[in-house]
Structure 1
Amino acid sequence: MTDDEPTSTRNLDRYGNAPLPWSRARDVLAADTPTADLTFFVATVRPDGRPHSAGAGAVWVANALYVVGGPGTRRSRNLAGNPACSISVRLRGLDLILEGDARRVADSGTAARLAEVYRSGGWRATASGAALTAPFSAPSAGPPPRHLYRLALRRAAGVASAEPHGATCWEFAEA
């Protein structure tokens, strides 16, 4: 078993549809990031326990989801204190929620590889050590340099809005 395969699958559908395969979500993430116009929302927890959610640039690379955030953003400050988060996105035919721990990437080689992926989608990112810089970004990303975070996936849930319909929860081994 690879770390990308769910350890368990639970059918959440109440209309008789079969469980959705994880490969459906994974394959759309791989095909559509970073080129499709997708908005990912990262939900984190503030130090006082209140939730925080903001849009973020995200890419799926080598069976993992990566998001960016400047060091001064509420998202990055929350993740520094508590890496638990959820990330939501509406994909082609599938609404998806990913849950796990987002840890800051400290490897400059990974940053260089991800900068290349982001550039293929139109964001002119370059690696600066283990962070990214670019001449522009969404305001929610904060000023450069922007840290990269890798989501260690623990749970995902998908609801299909296109055939075949269904709703499924996938659990993953702790990373």
Structure 2
Amino acid sequence: MNEPTSTRNLDQYGNAELPWSRPRDILATDTPTEDLTFFVATMRPDGRPHTAGVGAVWVDDTLYFVGGPGTRRSRNLAANPACSVAVRLRGIDLTLEGDAHRVTDAATLERLAGVFRSGGWPATVAGDALTAPYNAPSAGPPPWHLYRLTLHSAVGVACAEPYGATRWTFAH
């Protein structure tokens, strides 16, 4: 498991630090079947930020997301893999920070296509990418690249009991 190497309590109201298992277990349980909207933020070559909604799943303690090769996010990641991904989970808002790299190996693509299918998106493998009869307009036209986020840090802010705010740092 990808466990944090350090934890920092960010709470200003006396609440205890949150365990990493809280958001991790919700990600593992709720993706891909719950209606979660993930937002990935990347950096344009001129330094301006870009944010877009993405389809994402949490598999084996890793976040995977998709993007068409011509989309701004894919072009940004090709030049600079640093990004953040934000999502509102049950009872906790979560931001993940790290580097996203394209996945092209057939076994991982097949496995992740199956995970996406289990959540209702009929993804299949097409060469070194994914395809399906449809996707969100923000994904661009098929085929879609699959990205793996190498997690550097995460911040969780609980919006349900037990409350708190915590930053987790991971070895990379």
TM-score (norm 2): 0.99
Shift of 1:127: 1.1
Instruction: Could you tell me which runs of 5 or more consecutive residues in structure 2 were left unpaired when the two chains were aligned.
Output: none
Do the aligned partners of 1:65 and 1:150 also contact (CA within 8 Å) in 2? yes
For the residues of structure 1 that align with 2:119 and 2:15, how far apart are their CA atoms?
35
Q: CA RMSD in A?
A: 0.6
What secondary structure, in the 3-state scheme, does the structure 1 residue paired with 2:11 have? coil
How far residue 79 of structure 1 moved from its aligned partner, in angstroms, is: 0.1
| Whole-Å separation in 1 of the counterparts to 2:8 and 2:169 | 8
What is the CA deviation profile of residues 101-148 of structure 1, one whole-angstrom value per residue up to 9, with x for unaligned ones?
A: 000002111010000000011001001133100000001111111000
Is there any run of 5+ residues in structure 1 with no aligned partner, and where? none
Residue aligning to 1:15: 13
What are the Cα deviations for residues 137-167 of structure 1, in whole angstroms up to 9, with x where unaligned? 0011111110000000000000001111100
**Aligned equivalents of 2:15 and 2:64: distance in 1?**
31
Aligned length: 172
Is 1:61 the counterpart of 2:66 in the alignment? no
Q: Once superposed, which parts of structure 1, at least 4 consecutive aligned residues long, lie more than 3 Å away?
A: none
- Listed as ranges, the matches of 1:127-138 within 5 Å are 127-138=125-136
Q: Which of 35, 39, 47 matches 1:49?
A: 47
Residue of structure 1 equivalent to 2:150: 152
Instruction: Say whether residues 1:161 and 2:159 are aligned partners.
Output: yes
Distance 2:131 2:114 in 1: 12
Q: Secondary structure at the match of 2:23?
A: helix
Q: Which TM-score applies when normalising by structure 1? A: 0.97
Residue 115 of structure 1 pairs with residue 117 of structure 2:
no
Shift of 1:39: 0.3
1:44 corresponds to which letter in structure 2?
T
Residues 1:81 and 2:84 aligned together:
no
Distance 2:15 2:126 in 1: 47
